[in-house]
């Protein structure tokens, strides 16, 4: 019978990588079955998330991708990369193309999602905080104002962003999807090459037994 305690953090980097691998598979299934679309998104001056099915699908994909960039998330992409780089170190593959690609993705990640790092907010020449540092700032306001949270100011901001939201969503989702798939591909290749051995026994041991739902 599995462990019944609540374990929010991964007990090992091995477990983090197994979880990441499965999460990408699940994301791809949601996208393929429910959230994919053909053609480009409309870019009218007043296009909002709720005005077009394609933009709505992009917004829902962005919500599912939140686990890979939000500051406190266990599957934040830089944490997954750190775990994968340790696999490369243990396998004496620090000079491999894998390591170079992962380092490039990590640099991109921190430039796209600077809020995950503890630091000073960006300011302009007057000393005032810059409202938007990049496309992701718009996406974050859309997610927290319209979809995931009930933040009043972000709701107001999201309601006034118009077609900028659609543009930002497209850029954010495309960029993050590509990079999580690249990291996932490297993980799969390391498994196939015998460099990564998933500790499935620990996953089974930590999995709680099924409980009956009391109605």
Instruction: Tell me: pLDDT of 47 over 80.
Output: no
Tens of pLDDT, residues 61-101: 999 999 999 999 999 999 999 999 999 999 999 999 999 99
Residues with Cβ within 8 Å of residue 2, at least 6 apart in sequence: 204, 205, 206, 207, 208, 209
Does the structure show a pLDDT above 50 at 124? Answer: no
Sequence-separated (6 or more) residues with CB below 8 Å from residue 182: 101, 105
For the question of whether the overall pTM of this predicted structure is more than 0.75, the answer is yes
Q: What is the pLDDT of residue 16?
A: 96
Identify which has the larger pLDDT, 34 or 141: 34
| pLDDT higher than 60, residue 117 | yes
Does pLDDT of 177 surpass 60? yes
| Predicted confidence (pLDDT) per residue in 178-212, tens digit | 999 999 999 999 999 999 999 988 888 888 877 66
Give the largest CA-CA distance in the chain.
61
In this predicted structure, which of 86-95, 99-108, 148-157, 175-184 has the lowest mean pLDDT? 148-157
Q: State residue 90's pLDDT score.
A: 94
Q: Give residue 45's pLDDT.
A: 52
Of the given ranges (10-24, 81-95, 139-153, 154-168), which has the lowest mean pLDDT? 154-168
Q: What is the mean pLDDT of the chain?
A: 85
* Residues 113, 87: Cα–Cα separation, whole Å: 24
User: Which pLDDT belongs to residue 120?
Assistant: 42
Coil, strand or helix: which one is 136?
helix
Q: What angle do CA 46, 50, 52 make, to 5 degrees?
A: 75
With the CA atoms of 95, 101, 106 and 109 taken in that order, what torsion angle do they form, in degrees rounded to the nearest 10?
A: 170
Question: Could you give the 3-state DSSP secondary structure of residue 28?
Answer: helix
Map residue 123 onto helix, strand or coil.
strand
Q: Report residue 104 as tokens.
A: 């490039």
Distances (CA, A) of 84 to 28, 97, 155, 169, 186: 21, 13, 37, 28, 9
pLDDT given for residue 3 in this prediction: 47
């Amino acid at each position: 019978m599995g462990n019944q305690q609540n374990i929010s953090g991964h007990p090992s980097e091995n477990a983090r990588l197994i979880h990441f691998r499965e999460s990408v598979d699940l994301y791809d299934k949601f996208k393929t079955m429910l959230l994919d679309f053909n053609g480009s998104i409309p870019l009218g001056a007043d296009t909002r998330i709720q005005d077009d099915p394609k933009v709505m699908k992009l917004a829902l994909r962005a919500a599912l991708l939140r686990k890979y960039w939000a500051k406190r998330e266990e599957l934040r992409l830089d944490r997954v990369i750190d775990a994968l780089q340790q696999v490369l170190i243990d396998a004496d593959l620090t000079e491999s193309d894998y390591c170079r690609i992962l380092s490039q993705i990590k640099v991109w990640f921190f430039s796209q999602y600077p809020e995950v790092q503890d630091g000073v907010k960006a300011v302009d020449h007057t000393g005032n905080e810059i409202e938007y540092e990049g496309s992701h700032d718009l996406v974050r306001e859309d997610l927290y104002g319209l979809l995931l949270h009930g933040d009043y100011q972000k709701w107001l901001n999201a309601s006034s962003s118009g077609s900028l939201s659609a543009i930002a969503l497209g850029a954010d989702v495309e960029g993050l999807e590509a990079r999580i798939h690249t990291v996932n591909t490297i993980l799969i290749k390391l498994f196939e090459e015998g460099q990564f051995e998933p500790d499935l026994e620990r996953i089974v041991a930590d999995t709680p037994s099924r409980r009956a739902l009391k109605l």
